[in-house]
Chains A and B, each alone.
Chain A
Amino acid sequence: MTQAKGTVLIIGGGQAGAETAVELRKLGHDGRILIVGEEPFLPYKRPPLSKAYLAGDCTETQLYMMQAANLEKAGIEYHGGVPVTRIDRAAHTVERADGTQLRYDKLVLATGGRARPLPVPGADKPNVFLLRTIADVQKIRAHCQPGKRVAIVGGGFIGLEAAAVLVKKGLAVTVLEGLPRVLARVTCPQVSAFFERVHRQAGVDLRTGVQVAGFDGDAEVKRVCLSDGSTIETDFVVVGIGLIPNTELAASAGLAVDNGIVVDEYTRTADPDIYAAGDCTHHPSRFLGRYVRLESVQNAMEQGRAAARNIMGRQEPYQMVPWFWSDQYDLKLQMVGISSGYDQLVLRGDPATQRHFAVFYLKNGRIIAADTVSRPQEFMLAKKLVAENATVDPARLADETLPLKTLVG
């Protein structure tokens, strides 16, 4: 095994960057490891931001992937609060916003993404919040008193998770989704309808197919204006409409960017000393047979570990079957594979009447993806079926008297 000598510099203090650093140490890298982050906080877990941290059920320190003392013990330096502004590939240096320069032997771009702002008049008012960072959630939490009204723009994972937390806290929650159904980009109509029903039963005023035209109010937003002319009174707004990958540094360094930072299956850019991992990468997926950019913590962590292995000279292709999860109320949604392009849907259980079920997506008779709600065992088995693109008789798959276990080879 060739050891990567010298300094590995990681741009980005999210989970991809921190996981790369940790894995490098586990594999025995004995040179300097430096993470340079834009945020002042130590590398932290983002998934709880829209769940436990928004609910106030965990502290900022509990979000940290490693506590400061453990980072120090592992010999991982974290420099937060000052963004990198430039990469000089010829000199092997990066420059930070305060003018300081740092040298690297290997560079990892784990720059992640930023929350997409809503491009409408009034979206810059001080009571309109994005939800991507600890700082964002701290601002939202300061507004979360029971009885307050919140308008959440976006019926994706972030918007729905936030809605579940805030309605439980006693706020009056309105969710505004532009498409005809929630979670439209990631799941089938039956699962969307299930979550719409669950949120409405919990007291959320959920509206689909509505366009936000702008926000009205003087110093602060007082009402949301929809394109049909109607308005919704609100005390504050949370926007969860997706992510923009942070690719600017890579692009200005002359590296290929196409939807994300382009890497090969070894997580390398075209520059042999520069790797990339996480939400910011556009990478080849053997499982999907195409390039993909994934916004998920599983990809961030696994690709980070793959980058570390390849920096250590292991020449191991990055291969994973994408999977995702979302906690809303007492429900756990777990998804594996990418369902777009399916030609047959098989249900185990009935989303219209039950609070636990599984949905399998088939294409040409093969299982390409599955969603499960509060069926952890079936999720674990589905992961295997999806990874193998298994062929299973749809009638047997739908038959709940047959345990799924008996269908897994």
Chain B
Amino acid sequence: MPTLKFIEASGQTHVVEAVVGQSVMEAATGHLVPGIVGECGGCCACATCHVYVEEPWCGQLDPPDEMERGMLDGTPGVTARSRLSCQIKVSAALDGLVLRIPAAS
């Protein structure tokens, strides 16, 4: 099982075991990681699962599609590392992935 590490703005970290095929958002909400809500259930409609993806993974992920880019465009606190975690599918290659959670998410 790939291991994902979430870091809250406060520095508090959460290491969770994710299931291949689920989304990073689902892995977070399934393990009670604070700050990742996933209100729309993962269909890229709410931006309540915004995360910053640490390198080296950020450059390795499939780029966001048009819908995700649009949602991010209107989301506060967005940087070049911003993604909606419901749109990142967990794979074995993402073992060790580190994600930072925005302060006001």
Q: Give 1 or 0 for each of B47-58: 1 = CB within 8 Å of chain A CB.
A: 100000000000
Q: How far is the CB of A20 from chain B (nearest CB, A)?
A: 13
Instruction: Flag whether A381 is at the interface (Cβ < 8 A).
Output: yes
Choose from B32, B34, B46, B71 the contact partner of A298 (Cβ within 8 Å). B46
State whether the Cβ of A213 lies closer than 8 Å to any Cβ in chain B: no
Known: A47-B40, A334-B45. A381 touches B32 (CB 8 A): no
B93 within 8 A of A: no
In the assembled complex, B79 has its CB within 8 A of some CB on chain A? no
Contacting residues, chain A, for B39 (C-beta < 8 A): 297-298, 301-302
Q: Looking across the interface, which residue of chain B has its beta carbon closest to that of A66?
A: B30
> Which residue of chain A is the closest to B31 with respect to CB atoms?
A70
From A22, A67, A297, A376, give the contact of B70 (CB < 8 A).
A376
B74 at the interface (CB under 8 A from A): yes
Give A319-350 as 1s and 0s: 1 = Cβ < 8 Å from B's Cβ atoms: 00001010100001010000000000000000
Q: Which residues of B contact A48 (CB under 8 A)?
A: 41, 43
Q: Are A377 and B32 within 8 A (Cβ)?
A: no
Q: Which residue of B lies closest to A46 (CB)?
A: B41
- A229-259 interface bits toward B, Cβ cutoff 8 Å, 1 = contact, 0 = none: 0000000000000000000000000000000
Q: In the complex, what residues of B have CB within 8 A of residue A62's CB?
A: 22
Q: Is residue B37 contacting chain A, with contact meaning CB distance below 8 A?
A: yes
Residues of A within 8 A of B70 (CB): 375-377, 380
Select from chain A the residue with minimum beta-carbon distance to B45: A325
A301: B residues at CB distance < 8 A: 37, 39
- Known contacts being A26-B32, A380-B47, is A47 close to B74, with CB within 8 Å? no
Give every chain B residue within 8 A of A297 (Cβ-Cβ): 39-41
- How many chain B residues touch A (CB < 8 A): the figure is 22
Query: Does B75 reach chain A (CB closer than 8 Å)?
Result: yes
A378 at the binding interface (Cβ < 8 Å): yes
Task: Judge whether A377 and B43 touch: CB under 8 Å.
Answer: no
C-alpha spacing A70/B44, complex, angstroms: 24
- Is A379 part of the contact surface with B, judged by Cβ < 8 Å? yes
In the complex the two chains form, what is the Cα distance from A67 to B43 in whole Å? 19
Report Cα–Cα, A327/B44, bound state, in Å: 11
The residue among A25, A67, A327, A376 with the most chain B CB atoms within 10 A of its own CB is A376
Contact among A73, A327, A374, A381 for B74, CB-based, below 8 A: A381
B9 / chain A contacts, CB cutoff of 8 Å: none
A360-402 vs B, CB cutoff 8 Å, 1 = contact: the mask equals 0000000000000011111111010000000000000000000
The reply to whether B45 and A67 contact each other, CB–CB distance below 8 Å, is no
Q: Tell me if A26 and B34 are in contact (CB < 8 A).
A: yes
Query: A377 to B41, Cβ gap below 8 A?
Result: no
Which chain B residues lie closer than 8 Å to A381 at the CB level?
74
Q: What are the residues of chain B within 8 A of A22 when measuring CB–CB? A: 29, 32
Task: Chain A residues near B68: list those with CB within 8 A.
Answer: 376
Provide the residues of chain A in CB contact with B34, threshold 8 Å. Answer: 26
| Residue A45 lies at the interface, judged by CB distance under 8 Å to chain B | yes
Contact (Cβ within 8 A) A376 B71: yes
Q: What separation, in Å, do the CA atoms of A74 and B31 have in the docked complex?
A: 8
Cα distance, A323 to B68, chains bound together (Å) = 18
A62–B41 Cα gap in the complex (Å)? 11
For A332, list chain B residues within 8 Å (CB): 44-45, 67
Q: Which residues of B contact A66 (CB under 8 A)?
A: 29-30
Taking CB atoms, residues of chain B closer than 8 Å to A327 are 43, 45
Whether A380 pairs with B74 at a CB distance below 8 angstroms is yes
A376 touches B43 (CB 8 A): no
Is A65 an interface position by the 8 A CB rule?
Answer: yes
Task: State in angstroms the CA–CA spacing of A138 and B67 once bound together.
Answer: 30
Interface residues, chain A, with chain B CB atoms under 8 Å away: 22, 25-26, 45, 47-48, 51, 62, 65-67, 70, 73-74, 297-298, 301-302, 323, 325, 327, 332, 334, 374-381, 383, 405
The 5 closest A-B pairs by CB, nearest first: A380-B74, A376-B70, A377-B73, A377-B70, A325-B45
* Besides A22-B29, A376-B45, A377-B74, 7 new A-B residue pairs in contact (Cβ under 8 A), listed by A number: A47-B40, A47-B41, A62-B22, A66-B29, A325-B43, A332-B67, A379-B74
A-B contact pairs, 16 of them (CB 8 A): A45-B41, A67-B30, A70-B31, A74-B32, A297-B39, A302-B39, A323-B46, A325-B40, A325-B46, A327-B43, A375-B70, A376-B68, A376-B71, A376-B73, A376-B74, A379-B71
